[in-house]
Copies of this chain bind each other. A is one copy, B any other.
Amino acid sequence: MSRKNLIVGQSGGPTAVINSSLYGVVSEGMRHPEAIEHVYGMINGIEGFLNGTVLDFAEALPGEKLDGLKVTPGAYLGSCRYKLPESLEDPVYPRLFKKFEEMNIGWFFYIGGNDSMDTVSKLSRYAAQTGSDIRILGEPKTIDNDLIHTDHTPGFGSAARYVASTVREITIDANVYEKKSVTIIEIMGRHAGWLTAASALARKYTGDNPLLIYLPETAFDQEEFLKAVEKSFEKNCNVIVCVSEGIHDDKGTFICEYDNSVGTDTFGHKMLAGCGKYLENLVRNRLGVKARSVELNVSQRCSASMMSATDQQEAIKAGEFGVQAALNGETGKMISFIRKETSDGTYIMECGLEDVNAICNEEKTVPSEWITEDGSDVTEAFINYARPLIQGTVQIPCGEDGLPAFVYRK
């Protein structure tokens, strides 16, 4: 059998471990020189590939340099948000497969979330339709943890650890003073509240902050919220509230655009302030207490400082498993995570394969039984689910400049 080449790309928003998945694919690919000649990377995903931007990992990150991927956040290969046309009759498909042929591609890997799995689905269906034997597989990635048919996704554990650790530190900051205060922490998650739920991991004991947690899975009632804050002062004079950016009322209106708190700028454009800022003002004005808001923002997805060793190792394992599956002839699949337990209850995770067509464009939200009845907290079952995913510290190497030493494309 003549050798073929493997190509891998990254797509969608970055995470702390999307490069660990890449490491898994590339390093495993290089372990099979009998079948795989070159391991290529698409720069800026399928969009960049169409423009011909490709690198060879043997040249870009030779030898031990490849290890740098394991501790570098963000997408080393760059990313894109490019949706392939719905119709497989579109001329982009033969164009793509002609390029695959020219580059002697035998294996195609795409690391990403829902939209990226849509790309994997379309390419694998086109391959089947045209009798192409290219193996096309998806590697899961998203801090949002919203992919179905997998216990969780690489990227979630590190983001959850970042959220929990930062919420714990902000709690320390708030506790410094004895005056009544409310801190609203706005966490990423438009439709799924997994990451906001992870703020519950910050608690050191039952009844510790964050005292209130609101997910987009339930309707948010402003009056109930104010009552809940008032009640929380009985437990702690400094109340920490964690909210998903996507919280909305029972009519489906996002809280961040609820009323005229949204200013207009000099150009008359609407200025969205975020639900954290809105709730900060609501609390200050209605309850007359000191209030502030913190938007955790992009560091949730791009900080390596709280990388979870479990998350990192699982991302690598998923990458390796995918290459082994492709070499065994699998295609049109996404690598999934299956939770197992040892006899003494220790968490272990196994990789599986799921039909990518069943996964793309679907969204997994936090199950309602993991949210308390009043919608202001998560249950112990969620904690038991999430706690194993944030275990382990990764030592990020430090450069001579005193800062984390990451790897970059030239």
Q: Which residues from chain B contact A264 at a C-beta distance below 8 Å?
A: 260-261, 263
Q: Which residues from chain B contact A406 at a C-beta distance below 8 Å?
A: 168, 172
Give chain A interface residues in 230-255, CB to chain B under 8 Å: none
Q: Is A150 an interface residue (CB 8 A)?
A: no
Interface size class of A (residues with CB under 8 A): 35 or more
Q: Which residues from chain B contact A403 at a C-beta distance below 8 Å?
A: 161, 164-165, 168, 201-202, 390
Contact with B along A373-392 (1 / 0, CB 8 A): 00000000000000100111
Q: Which residues from chain B contact A48 at a C-beta distance below 8 Å?
A: 178
Q: How far is the CA of A119 from the CA of B295 in the complex (A)?
A: 34
Q: Is A334 an interface residue (CB 8 A)?
A: no
With both chains docked as a complex, state the minimum distance between the C-beta of A405 and any C-beta of chain B, in angstroms: 10
Q: Which residues from chain B contact A297 at a C-beta distance below 8 Å?
A: 294-295
- Whether the pair B260, A265 counts as a contact (CB closer than 8 A) is yes
Contact with B along A274-310 (1 / 0, CB 8 A): 0001100110010000001011011101111110100
Q: Is A227 an interface residue (CB 8 A)?
A: no
Known: A261-B263, A294-B298. A79 touches B176 (CB 8 A): yes
Q: How far is the CA of A81 from the CA of B179 in the complex (A)?
A: 11
Q: Which residues from chain B contact A266 at a C-beta distance below 8 Å?
A: 259-261, 282, 285
Stretch of A58-66, A70-78, A323-331 on the interface side: A70-78
Q: Is A101 an interface residue (CB 8 A)?
A: no
Q: Is A229 an interface residue (CB 8 A)?
A: no
Q: Which residues from chain B contact A285 at a C-beta distance below 8 Å?
A: 265-267, 269
Known: A176-B79, A285-B269. A204 touches B299 (CB 8 A): no
- Whether the pair A173, B14 counts as a contact (CB closer than 8 A) is yes
Q: Which residues from chain B contact A395 at a C-beta distance below 8 Å?
A: 395
- Whether the pair A298, B14 counts as a contact (CB closer than 8 A) is no
Known: A176-B78, A281-B271. A303 touches B263 (CB 8 A): no
Instruction: Name which residue of chain B comes closest to A53, CB basis.
Output: B178
With both chains docked as a complex, state the minimum distance between the C-beta of A31 and any C-beta of chain B, in angstroms: 28
With both chains docked as a complex, state the minimum distance between the C-beta of A361 and any C-beta of chain B, in angstroms: 22
Instruction: Name which residue of chain B comes closest to A294, CB basis.
Output: B297
Known: A44-B178, A177-B80, A265-B285. A170 touches B298 (CB 8 A): yes
Contact with B along A302-323 (1 / 0, CB 8 A): 1111101000000000000000
- Whether the pair B404, A168 counts as a contact (CB closer than 8 A) is yes
- Whether the pair B265, A271 counts as a contact (CB closer than 8 A) is no
Q: Is A56 an interface residue (CB 8 A)?
A: no
- Whether the pair B78, A173 counts as a contact (CB closer than 8 A) is no
- Whether the pair B263, A271 counts as a contact (CB closer than 8 A) is yes
Known: A161-B402, A305-B165. A265 touches B269 (CB 8 A): no
**9 closest A-B pairs (Cβ-Cβ)?**
A263-B263, A74-B172, A173-B302, A305-B305, A261-B265, A390-B402, A267-B285, A79-B176, A391-B402
For this complex, 18 residue pairs linking A to B, each with C-beta atoms less than 8 Å apart, are: A14-B172, A14-B176, A73-B172, A74-B175, A74-B176, A78-B175, A78-B176, A81-B177, A161-B402, A170-B298, A201-B401, A265-B282, A265-B285, A267-B281, A271-B277, A271-B281, A305-B305, A393-B398
Given contacts A13-B176, A202-B403, A265-B285, 4 further A-B contacts (CB under 8 A): A78-B176, A164-B403, A260-B266, A261-B264
